[in-house]
Amino acid sequence: MDKKLQKGAGEKVNRLPVQTQPVLTQTQGEEHTQPPTPNNNKLTQNKIDGMSAFRESIQDLGFSTEAEQILLSSWRQGTMQQYQTYTSQWFQYCRENKKSVLSPAVGDVVNFLTELFKKGVGYSALNTARSALSAFIKLDGVPCGNNTFVKRFLKGVFQLRPALPKNNVIWDTEIVISFVRNMDVSKLKMLTYKTVILLALSTGQRAQSLHSLDIRNITLTEHEVKLRFGEVLKTTRPGHHQCEIVLGKFSELNLCVAETLKTYLIKTELLRDNVTQNKLFLSYQKPHTAVSKATISRWIKVVLVKAGVDMTIFTPHSTRAASASAAFRANVPVQTILNTAGWSKESTFAKFYLKPVAKN
């Protein structure tokens, strides 16, 4: 263990002490032969998508317009975009094969999924398609995804085209820490890169979470920095939201997340000329507006490439597994890892994120 970081690890109880790198810190009938006519199915006339299909499927249930809107809000924007990919293909399939959009037979649904399978769609994506159709199609009174034959079909897909992890190992965080230690941060560009990668490794958070950080929810003190998340995150659900993350200071300032973040806030303070720029991360190029989640992912990728991580194998999201796995190897309590990363089940961490370091 790096003696300097070992010394710094003892300065704050609720920061995870990890070998030579900052990592996590405390804190899913019969076939219809006649297609619906334009007069009784508005979906054939108007622009169609998954949500309009859902609205059409519930129009006779007596919901008010406001109630329908609240029901539609149960799907997040990202989920709706994923669903749209497959609902649009479902509408096309129904038009070409003269099938009912909202009241198909089980064979129609399974045959549609089979067509997707023949196009090379994998198990995970087919499950998304099944969920998309389940939003507005019922078979025998239950969402089509719960139909016995549909479920059996997906089991068959898994046997023929199993969804396996992209890799079973993770890169060593030490190679990234060694690179970060020697970064020249005199320019805003490199300071931005360093702030992003240290936060990713120190908190184990997704790019989405880093993107959501608001300077109004960041508290800096002499000995620590506190991060709070004021937006709905991927792991947010009723009764569960990402807890506050507390980062204590490291004795080695080159690797101190709190110190780096403080420097970044000072250098960007004059660039935040209006209330719309309260997002933590701004573009290092003019006009210095808040950046997208995709940009933060790209920044992480740039640093990993520069550090020597093989990005033909890994993705920017791999910082999450690298950080959590490093914390586990350093004997950080599992519950602390779960709380910080936002996982409610140990099995999620063990199955998808706990990985051994790849051997050179």
Dump the DSSP string for 256-287.
-HHHHHHHHHHHHGGG--SGGG-BS-B-SSTT
- Residue 47: per-residue pLDDT: 47
pLDDT of 322 reads 93
Q: Average pLDDT over the chain, rounded to whole?
A: 81
Confidence of residue 112 (pLDDT cuts 50, 70, 90): very high
Q: How many residues does the chain have?
A: 360
Mean pLDDT of the region 15-24: 39
pLDDT, residue 338, reads 86
**Distance between alpha carbon 330 and the CA centroid of its chain, in Å?**
25
At 159-208, the pLDDT tens digits run: 998 877 677 899 999 999 999 999 999 999 999 999 999 999 999 999 99
The pLDDT of residue 352 is: 81
CA pair distance 121, 186, nearest whole angstrom = 47
- Tokens 């329908």, residue? 68
| CA–CA separation, 152 and 346 (whole Å) | 28
Residue for token pair 């064979």: 107
Q: Is pLDDT of 14 > 70?
A: no
Q: What is the pLDDT of residue 48?
A: 52
33 pLDDT tier (thresholds 50, 70, 90): very low
**Domain at 17-27+167-352, CATH homologous superfamily:** Intergrase catalytic core (1.10.443.10)
Please state, in angstroms and rounded to a whole number, the distance separating the CA atoms of residues 105 and 109. 7
Contacts of 1 (CB under 8 A, 6+ apart): 19, 20
Q: What is the mean pLDDT of residues 225-232?
A: 84
Give just the sign of the alpha carbon dihedral 186, 190, 195, 197. negative
113 or 77: which leads in pLDDT: 113
Averaged pLDDT, 7-25: 38
d(CA 106, CA 30): 8
Whole-number Å distance between alpha carbons of 61 and 41: 16
pTM above 0.75, yes or no: no
Classify domain 48-160 at the CATH superfamily level: Tyrosine recombinase, N-terminal domain (1.10.150.130)
Closest alpha carbon to 349 in 357, 358, 340: 340
Strands 218-220, 224-227: pairing is antiparallel
Domain boundaries, the chain: 17-27+167-352, 48-160
Whole-angstrom distance, CA of residue 205 vs CA of residue 212: 11
What is the tens place of the pLDDT at every residue in 274-287? 656 789 999 999 88
Structure tokens at 332: 């950080």
User: To the nearest 5 percent, what fractions of the chain are helix, strand and coil?
Assistant: 50, 5, 40
At residue 166, the pLDDT reads 74
Res 134 pLDDT > 50 = yes
Asked which of 40-54, 67-81, 167-181 is least confident by mean pLDDT, the reply is 40-54
What is the Cα–Cα distance from 92 to 261, expressed in whole angstroms?
50
Identify the band that residue 63 occupies on the pLDDT scale cut at 50, 70 and 90. confident
C-alpha dist (Å) from residue 151 to 38, 119, 130, 141, 253: 32, 20, 9, 16, 54
Long-range contacts made by residues 107-111, C-beta under 8 angstroms, separation at least 24?
A: 107/31, 108/31, 108/32, 109/133, 109/137, 109/139, 109/144, 109/147, 109/150, 110/149, 110/150, 110/153
More confident residue, 42 or 122: 122
pLDDT given at position 86: 92
Q: Is the peptide bond before 38 cis (omega within 30 degrees of 0)?
A: no
Residue 199 CB: number of other CB atoms within 10 A? 28
